[in-house]
Amino acid sequence: MTGLRALAKPLGKTVPAGFWKPLAGRSIAVRLAVSSVFWSFVILLIAGLILSAVYRDNTERAFDQRLLVFANTLASALVAPGDPDRDLGPIGDPRFELPLSGWYWEVVRPNAREQNIRLSKSLFGGQLPSLVPQGQTPRFGEIRRGYGQAPDERGLRMVERDIDVGQEGRFIIRVAGPADEIEGSIRNFSFALLVTFAALGVALGASTLLQIRFGLQPLIKLRGALTAIRRGEADRIPGEFPRDIAPLASELNLLLDTNREILERARTQVGNLAHALKTPLSIIVNEAESAPEDVAAKVREQAALMRDQVNYYLDRARAAALAGTLGTLTEVEPVLAGLSRTFVKIYRDKDLDIAVQCLAGVKFRGERQDLEEMAGNLIDNAAKWAASHVSVTASRVEDLDRPWLHILIDDDGPGLPEEARTEMLKRGRRLDETKPGSGLGLSIVSDLAALYRGRLRLEPSPSGGLRARLELPGDGG
């Protein structure tokens, strides 16, 4: 049982706190599988050590019982009538007659001289070691068991007992057998145990994986439903779920419904506000027509500025309400192609070439109107300054396991110095006052992109002009 005591110390300690840290970001299935494999290994290891220790103990006891039978036979021969120092003869097993067979016996008197020792023929003149530690006095009558060494240095399993034959005095009987029989039996048992436990471990591992797969099926189904909502393929989580997951699915559906209602109210309120503000502005402009020309011009100028500001903040409020809405996806290629055709017609006097490159299936995770607003402002700005060519490229980029939409708009115009690029993203800033516009276009794009957790960057273009890099959340479908 010493193996069990040795095992008890490390098992008594708890598993270190950082042991499971590498699994912190793993899926539940991986965590359950690793945990199950780990604890199954620990349990099987403990069970194997216990069974091995119990088997060793039983094997040693059975072997000792065989040795005690021979020792009792010798004791019976000693107490039989006659001279106790006579030759005891064979005791029933021919191996005691074969020299150095591994099976030995001897009978000695305590503190005896060499001529008083009687030995089996197998000892071939040698002697068996005493099982009493040096310097200790044994208790008379006890049966001692242990391991020793034969004259040929082979390991022995021994039993030793004392016997009192009355007037003839006391004797010590020692019987020994080869220890490798015990070790061989234990090795065979350990190998069979290892094979059995290995098969059991594989079976447990397979059944655990099946249980995990079956048990986590509702979560996999729930994840698939959420993915379908995110991609715009569904607007609710369908189906029935177990009692543990059903409240979560119901709450998510309620959250989706509530979010949809809030967004609808936001759309309505933004539309009402736009109508409420634009109508008075139109009346002011119409009434200004009857005023002196300089007053009318000033009123029209300020009214136009107010209309631009109202449109800017209303669009921003609408985008803030809609940005990141679940289930809203927009195909990018049709939007860019439509904008390209529109701006070719608008700038037909410049004979512009607007080339669009976009793979089919690339999507923007957001409203189509917002994508048109952002891309339209950037293409419009590029067309204003381009000499003859505008290039629009859209691609899907993976970043930290999340898809992003990158839209690059290049022109071959004069470009912008580095210090002016940041300045141009500020609201109301214009590079050339002679060009039409309010100076809100790039600012609107930057703000809309930020609402979608994206960004707009201005860089030098390989064509020699300006490159606008628009980064937005995407989905490759």
- CATH number reported for the structural domain that contains residue 173 in this entry: 3.30.450
- Same domain? 174 vs 276: no
- Same domain? 312 vs 343: no
- Same domain? 458 vs 377: yes
Exposed, middle or buried, 359 (CB in 10 Å: 0-12/13-18/19+)? exposed
Does 69 reside within a domain?
Answer: no
At 83 the pLDDT is 56
Closest CA to 435 of 456, 413, 419, 451: 413
Residue type, 386: A
The CATH number of whichever domain residue 370 belongs to comes to: 3.30.565.10
For residue 108, what are the contacts with CB-CB under 8 A and spacing of at least 6?
Answer: 116, 117, 118, 171, 172, 174
Cβ(165)–Cβ(15) under 8 Å? no
Cβ(175)–Cβ(161) under 8 Å? no
Beta bridge partners of 406: 395, 471
- Same domain? 294 vs 338: no
Q: List pLDDT tens digits, range 428-438.
A: 444 444 444 44
For residue 407, what are the contacts with CB-CB under 8 A and spacing of at least 6?
Answer: 332, 336, 375, 378, 392, 393, 394, 469, 470, 472
Roughly how many angstroms between the first and final C-alpha of the chain, as a whole number? Answer: 63
Cβ neighbours around 288 below 10 Å, total = 18
At 437 the pLDDT is 46
Q: Report which DSSP code applies to 127.
A: -
Does 24 reside within a domain?
Answer: no
Query: Considering 276, 304, 322, which residue would you say is the last residue of a domain?
Result: 322
At 59 the pLDDT is 93
Does 5 reside within a domain?
Answer: no
Q: Give the structural domain span for 441.
A: 330-475
- Same domain? 396 vs 416: yes
Does 175 reside within a domain?
Answer: yes
Q: What b/e sequence results for 242-263 when a residue is b if at least 16 CB atoms lie within 10 Å of its CB, and e otherwise?
A: eeeeeeebeebbeebeeeeeee
- Same domain? 370 vs 461: yes
What residue ranges of the chain have pLDDT lower than 50?
1-14, 428-439, 477
Closest CA to 72 of 159, 184, 9: 159
Query: Considering 263, 290, 322, which residue would you say is the last residue of a domain?
Result: 322
- Same domain? 353 vs 283: no
- Same domain? 436 vs 356: yes
CA 285 vs CA 187, 275, 280, 291, 440: distances in Å: 104, 15, 9, 10, 22
Query: Considering 322, 344, 370, which residue would you say is the last residue of a domain?
Result: 322
- Same domain? 456 vs 336: yes
At 394 the pLDDT is 93
Does 15 reside within a domain?
Answer: no
Q: List pLDDT tens digits, range 412-430.
A: 988 888 777 777 766 544 4
- Split into its structural domains, the chain has a count of 3
At 205 the pLDDT is 86
Cβ(419)–Cβ(476) under 8 Å? no
Q: Angle of helix 179-215 relative to helix 217-230, nearest 10 degrees?
A: 40
Closest CA to 127 of 136, 118, 135: 118
- Same domain? 336 vs 471: yes
At 4 the pLDDT is 41
Closest CA to 387 of 415, 367, 409: 415
At 12 the pLDDT is 43
What DSSP element (H or E) covers 267? helix 246-288
Does 50 reside within a domain?
Answer: no
- Same domain? 443 vs 350: yes
Q: List pLDDT tens digits, range 256-305.
A: 888 777 777 776 776 677 667 777 777 777 777 776 777 777 777 777 77
Residue 104 phi, psi dihedral angles, 5° rounding: -140, 155
- Same domain? 354 vs 414: yes
Does 207 reside within a domain?
Answer: no
Q: How far apart are CA 195 and CA 189, in angstroms?
A: 10
For residue 85, the number of C-alpha atoms closer than 13 Å in the C-beta half-sphere is 10
Does 223 reside within a domain?
Answer: no
At 441 the pLDDT is 67
